[in-house]
Amino acid sequence: MTDKLVDLHIHTNYSDGSYAPAEIVRMAKKAKLSAIAITDHDITGGIKEAVAEGEKAGVEIIPGVELSCEVNGSADGEMHILAYYGNLDDSRFQKVLESFRKTRVERASKMIRKLIELKIMLDEKEILKDPGNFSVGRMHLARLMVNKGLVPSIRECFDKYLGNGKPAYYPKQRIDPEKAIKMILATGAIPVLAHPLIGGDDKELVGKLKEYGLAGIEVHASRHGPKLVEKYLEWAKEFDLLITGGSDFHYSADGELGMLGVIKVPYEVVSGMKEFLKK
């Protein structure tokens, strides 16, 4: 195993992460990561900035994006599909991402109205100043509530108001996984099942995704202990899937590295993706 390590699941402030892409790259350098993937929700706008900083810092940047999908046609179930490489700037693909972001704005507006009914007074203008340049989500609402002193912590925001089934929750738009995978493949990108423990912990389901064109599975993830890693490695072998991994990094409460680089993913997984693209 090489000493070079990577993190292939990172969010910036273009979606629900706390840090700008360039800042993430500098943190990755500090964490001694050789390569990182920028995988924001429904937006690829942060990749260019990360690449520019990566060239200066000597950190390889892998372009990516993360899509939310239905589980077995249920509005409640959710799995995430990551896309790596390919032509993510494809105009048709970008139009779909733009439509997803518009529905995110509508969802945020509905949740803000629910919060106001609960006497949590937020102004839409505070959160939706320029929604075209980022992908708004519940984390933005939670951070605003904490910053305004309306709740003591982000965790309490979700536990009390914004989590699934809580009084201010409103479901987001999700697409059929087959459609998502085929849309990703049309750009020449690699579709990978993110953190299967969350929404994808079903061997039969993973088999169906493989039939749709799924190419990889995120074996190494923050919530995957040794037994889960072993299980997903077996699934990867059985279904001939690429093995990937990442921290799903969003923010660090203490301003240090937090989870970034904690998941020890060898550079070989990047080499494997590059070989896949050649084929």
- pLDDT tens column, 10-63: 999 999 888 999 999 999 999 999 999 999 999 999 999 999 999 999 999 999
Q: Kindly indicate the confidence band of residue 130, based on its pLDDT and cuts at 50, 70 and 90.
A: low
Q: Kindly indicate the confidence band of residue 265, based on its pLDDT and cuts at 50, 70 and 90.
A: very high
- The answer to which of 68-82, 90-104, 177-191, 194-208 has the lowest mean pLDDT is 68-82
Candidates 174, 172, 170; CA nearest to 70 is: 174
In one letter, which amino acid is 257?
A: L
Helices (H), the chain: 21-30, 47-57, 91-117, 124-127, 138-147, 154-157, 177-186, 203-212, 226-239, 268-278
Q: Kindly indicate the confidence band of residue 77, based on its pLDDT and cuts at 50, 70 and 90.
A: confident
Residue with the bigger pLDDT between 216 and 259: it is: 216
In the chain, CATH 3.20.20.140 sits at 5-97+174-278
What is the reported pLDDT for 125?
Answer: 82
Q: Kindly indicate the confidence band of residue 124, based on its pLDDT and cuts at 50, 70 and 90.
A: confident
pLDDT of residue 1 exceeding 50? no
- The answer to which of 34-43, 66-75, 252-261 has the lowest mean pLDDT is 252-261
Mapped onto helix, strand or coil, the DSSP state of residue 143 is helix
Q: How many CA atoms lie within 13 A of 140 on its CB side?
A: 27
5-97+174-278, which class in CATH?
alpha beta
Integer Cα distance of 231 and 255 in angstroms: 34
What is the reported pLDDT for 67?
Answer: 96
Residue 110 corresponds to which tokens in the numbers above?
């509905």
What is the reported pLDDT for 135?
Answer: 87
What sign results for the dihedral spanned by CA atoms 55, 9, 212, 135? negative
As a residue count, the chain comes to 279
193 Cβ contact partners less than 8 Å away, ≥ 6 residues apart: 79, 80, 81, 82, 200, 206, 209, 214, 216, 217, 218
- The answer to which of 16-20, 62-66, 156-160, 166-170 has the lowest mean pLDDT is 16-20
What is the reported pLDDT for 129?
Answer: 65
What are 84's strand-pairing partners?
A: 64, 190
Is 222 in contact with 262 (CB distance < 8 Å)? yes
Q: Give the pLDDT mean for 145-154.
A: 91
pLDDT of residue 253 exceeding 70? no
DSSP state of 133: G
Q: Give the pLDDT mean for 198-220.
A: 95
Average pLDDT in the chain: 90
Integer Cα distance of 142 and 128 in angstroms: 14
Integer Cα distance of 255 and 44 in angstroms: 24
Candidates 261, 267, 260; CA nearest to 244 is: 267
Mapped onto helix, strand or coil, the DSSP state of residue 189 is coil
